[in-house]
Chain A
Amino acid sequence: MNRRAYHSAAIAAEIAVPLGILALWQWWTVQAADPKFPRLSTILVQFRELWLFSQFELHVVPSLTRIALGFGIAVVLGIVLGIPLGLSRWARIVAMPHIEWWRAMPPPALLPISIVLLHSIGNRQKVSFIAFFCLFPILLNTIDGVRGIDPATIETARSYGIRGLERIRRIVLPAALPQIFAGMRTSLSLAVIVMVLTEYFSSTSGVGYVLLISKNMFQLAPMWAAIVLIGLLGYLLNLLLVLVERRVLAWHRGWRAAAAQ
């Protein structure tokens, strides 16, 4: 198979398989006729009514804003804290036990205290809650990425008198970036989880809130529509990040391909 044919086949498969699954879903919900599993067509109608028009601004925009803010804060903090921790053995000795302790904390365990401390309704509680849990994958990957820099690279920088912030900007950050991105991808899926969680338990808007209301009112079609939306959000956000990564880390793919030869 030539390259073009291969690519066309790959894209066709990527589209055909989900369509097949949706067809199966529709067929199964029609013949099952179970109110707990509304027809896919009903869910999709709900989906269009809820998310594409009336409720988009009311519920989807707040959810996306919270993810963007929380994730953005986590990226900045993770890199800003991770680089010095990666560079200094002493900083790691002091900080690592604390990082490991907080990192092991399941998000629901901290939800009550965050509601008490940061007031239940405001955006501040949600954004900081998302930022807190997104921080750890980025932080730990940054530390690992910095520690894993080739000593020959560091020595080159040293022999040419490249120091301080310049060394971080030109050597340390680009060298650690592939691993920082790996952390960001883990964090982004975590951001969706934590977003739903915090909205479900303490909110008056957002996708998670719609999930809660639909459940309480036993409206199953809107609930399923919310589930579809959440899955779609996670998928699209990850896709976006992958596209950014491909651009920013184009050198990394080329370099690895060259090294593999």
Chain B
Amino acid sequence: MSMNAGRLLEIRNVGKTYGTGAKATHAIADVSFGVDDRELVCVVGPSGCGKTTLLKCVGGLLRPTTGQVLLRGQPVTAPPEEMALVFQEYGRSLMPWSSVRNNVLLPLRHKRLGRQERKALVEEALDAVGLTRFIDHYPWQLSGGMQQRVAIARALAYQPSILLMDEPFASVDAQTRGDLEDLVLRVREEFAVTILFVTHDIDESVYLSDRVVVLTHAPTDVKEMIDVELPFPRDQIATKELPEFTHLRGHVYRLIRREQVEPEEQLATATAATKGDGE
């Protein structure tokens, strides 16, 4: 995994600071990694480590303060047509005034496509997520998991080469989450997409990915990159029973727990020091 320029997506020394001067918040210090074509990379990190900020920088929704994101060697400055983003808040990213069909159609309207082509893309995408029957429903008539499937269908119909997913399953129940994870693995094959998947769920990151990128707490950099060599096709029960899965899961867990403990310890030490001064 060398950092050569031939990668599909390259995050190169990306840093993001909000505000200036004394009020500045250093969200991301220096993050670098690459994603190859057809790869599924999960980004995990302690809560509040700027995972979403990083993903928005990759997707061209935010400008990094330092460094750059390269897509096929070209810097990303605005949301590229080659990328589609699936947000965590499906309830807010789907348009409540449009049917499922029109929600999926929405980003296709300005693409140079024929009427039939558009229709076919919408139907194919909804078929892939198993929602054909609900094409004329409104999103708010569907359950949370189904709404997120609509959002995934919308992203797939857009025909991206890269799917960016920002904690997409954080607000659905465990059973649905498992189904949706398997859906992601399936559409990845069916639609031949590269996926960059941000999550705070360690099991999810190991289960899904070819590679896990573990981030530190803010200001964020890359703690470790771990290749996941679990066999495909993956299975919610069988894969998670493999010793290799348990080992990887434990490893990522330790890395992140250390990250979460450290700032608290620093705080504890600081508080102790203040008390010491008072005596």
Q: Is the CB of A159 within 8 A of B106?
A: no
CB distance from B52 to the nearest CB of A (A): 11
CB distance from A165 to the nearest CB of B (A): 10
**Chain A positions 162-204 with a Cβ under 8 Å from a chain B Cβ:** 162-163, 166, 170-171, 174-175, 177
**Chain B positions 32-49 with a Cβ under 8 Å from a chain A Cβ:** none
Q: 14 new A-B pairs (CB below 8 Å) besides A150-B92, A153-B93, A170-B109?
A: A152-B89, A152-B92, A155-B93, A156-B87, A159-B60, A159-B79, A159-B83, A160-B84, A160-B107, A171-B95, A251-B138, A252-B97, A255-B97, A259-B140
List A contacts of B263 (CB < 8 A): none
User: Any chain B CB within 8 A of the CB of A161?
Assistant: yes
CB distance from A170 to the nearest CB of B (A): 6
User: Any chain A CB within 8 A of the CB of B130?
Assistant: no
Q: Is the CB of A174 within 8 A of B97?
A: yes
**B72-109 near A? 1/0 per residue, CB < 8 Å:** 00000001010111010100110111100000001101
Residue of A nearest to B85 (CB): A159
List B contacts of A171 (CB < 8 A): 95
List A contacts of B81 (CB < 8 A): 161
CB distance from A112 to the nearest CB of B (A): 44
- A185 vs B110: C-alpha distance when bound (angstroms): 34
User: Any chain B CB within 8 A of the CB of A240?
Assistant: no
Q: Is the CB of B107 within 8 A of A162?
A: yes
Q: Is the CB of B138 within 8 A of A255?
A: yes
Q: Is the CB of A161 within 8 A of B110?
A: yes
- A166 vs B110: C-alpha distance when bound (angstroms): 8
- A33 vs B49: C-alpha distance when bound (angstroms): 82
CB distance from B148 to the nearest CB of A (A): 13
User: Any chain A CB within 8 A of the CB of B141?
Assistant: yes
User: Any chain A CB within 8 A of the CB of B207?
Assistant: no
User: Any chain A CB within 8 A of the CB of B183?
Assistant: no
User: Any chain A CB within 8 A of the CB of B61?
Assistant: yes
User: Any chain B CB within 8 A of the CB of A158?
Assistant: yes
User: Any chain B CB within 8 A of the CB of A258?
Assistant: yes
List B contacts of A258 (CB < 8 A): 140-141
**Chain A positions 71-90 with a Cβ under 8 Å from a chain B Cβ:** none
User: Any chain A CB within 8 A of the CB of B64?
Assistant: no
User: Any chain A CB within 8 A of the CB of B169?
Assistant: no
User: Any chain A CB within 8 A of the CB of B59?
Assistant: yes
Q: Is the CB of A153 within 8 A of B61?
A: no
Q: Is the CB of B84 within 8 A of A255?
A: no
User: Any chain B CB within 8 A of the CB of A35?
Assistant: no
Contact with B97, one of A150, A161, A251 (Cβ below 8 angstroms)? A251
Most buried by B among A152, A160, A163, A170: A160
| A and B contact pairs by CB, cutoff 8 A, 23 listed | A152-B87, A152-B93, A153-B93, A155-B61, A155-B87, A155-B93, A156-B85, A159-B83, A159-B85, A160-B84, A161-B81, A162-B106, A162-B109, A162-B110, A163-B110, A170-B106, A174-B97, A175-B97, A252-B97, A254-B140, A255-B97, A255-B138, A255-B140
Interface of B is mostly: loop
- A258 vs B141: C-alpha distance when bound (angstroms): 7
Q: A152-B92, A166-B109, A254-B138 are in contact. Are A158 and B97 (CB under 8 A)?
A: no
User: Any chain A CB within 8 A of the CB of B197?
Assistant: no
List A contacts of B110 (CB < 8 A): 161-163, 166
CB distance from B102 to the nearest CB of A (A): 9
Q: Is the CB of A153 within 8 A of B95?
A: yes
- A171 vs B141: C-alpha distance when bound (angstroms): 20
Q: Is the CB of B96 within 8 A of A255?
A: yes
**B110-142 near A? 1/0 per residue, CB < 8 Å:** 100000000000000000000000000010110
- A175 vs B84: C-alpha distance when bound (angstroms): 22
| Pairs A-B, 10 closest by C-beta atoms | A160-B107, A152-B92, A258-B140, A255-B96, A174-B97, A156-B93, A159-B85, A255-B140, A251-B97, A159-B79
Q: Is the CB of A158 within 8 A of B140?
A: no
Q: Is the CB of B92 within 8 A of A160?
A: no
- A252 vs B95: C-alpha distance when bound (angstroms): 11
- A163 vs B25: C-alpha distance when bound (angstroms): 31
Contact with A158, one of B79, B84, B96 (Cβ below 8 angstroms)? B79
- A175 vs B109: C-alpha distance when bound (angstroms): 18
Residue of B nearest to A160 (CB): B107
Q: A150-B92, A152-B89, A174-B97 are in contact. Are A160 and B158 (CB under 8 A)?
A: yes
List A contacts of B158 (CB < 8 A): 160
- A137 vs B95: C-alpha distance when bound (angstroms): 26
**Chain A positions 88-144 with a Cβ under 8 Å from a chain B Cβ:** none
List A contacts of B85 (CB < 8 A): 156, 159
CB distance from A29 to the nearest CB of B (A): 50
CB distance from B134 to the nearest CB of A (A): 14
CB distance from A163 to the nearest CB of B (A): 8
List A contacts of B106 (CB < 8 A): 160, 162, 170
